[in-house]
Amino acid sequence: MAMADFRSRLSGRARLYICRLVRRAVLAYLALAVCLLWASSCGSENTHMGPSEDEAAALVQALAFTFQKGIIAALAGEGTIGGVVGELRVKGMQWDFDRYSPDGDLFVDGELVVDPAQQPMAMRGDLGLSGSLSGVLTIDLVYSLSTGVFHGVISVDGVDVPLSERLCCMT
């Protein structure tokens, strides 16, 4: 009964003012709830941003020496290339990256299939990245022994780095 008494004492103008105030408050709370839901999704896995083109290109350059040594090992039939941490083991057509790190900050795991008998030599596979960059390193390259040139694309977590360059000093 107290509520009914309160309503009856309000003028029509006061009731209209209160209704508008309540509507605005409800809209403000709804807008705040939508903003909070949107902001909370920013940290989810679905919004992962890949590396910049410069970071991807720097990674490719950092691994150039590793690929050079890997090719030498593949032509010899097998070999192990030590990184600052971990290693790359080459045996036959398998290149196995085991927590290999060229710099101690970036780590590479996974396997590439490389056929040294095929000319040009095809190099393909997906490698996992962790440390300073995370994601997937997709290799789709060919290497010509006669010209010493790599050609193809390396993708660093979706960022493509077209590659066509000669490796220095292959013997």
- Answer with the residue of higher pLDDT: 108 or 58: 108
pLDDT in tens, 4-43: 555 556 566 666 655 454 455 434 344 443 334 344 444 4
Quote the tokens at residue 139.
């290799």
Find out whether 154 and 163 touch, Cβ atoms under 8 Å: yes
Instruction: Give residue 111's pLDDT.
Output: 96
Q: Where are the domains of the chain?
A: 2-47, 53-166
Least Cα distance to 165 among 153, 154, 157, 148 occurs for: 148
Q: Could you tell me the pTM of the whole model?
A: 0.65
Pairing status of strand 78-82 against strand 85-91: antiparallel
Find out whether 149 and 143 touch, Cβ atoms under 8 Å: yes
Beta bridge partner(s), residue 160:
155
Q: Is 16 left (phi over 0), alpha (psi -120 to 50) or beta?
A: alpha
State the Cα–Cα distance between residues 40 and 2, nearest whole angstrom. Answer: 42
SS3 assignment for 108-125: EEEEEEECCCCCCEEEEE
Task: Provide, for the chain, the percentages of residues in helix, strand and coil under a 3-state DSSP scheme, each rounded to the nearest 5.
Answer: 40, 40, 20
pLDDT in tens, 112-150: 999 888 888 899 999 999 998 889 999 898 888 888 888
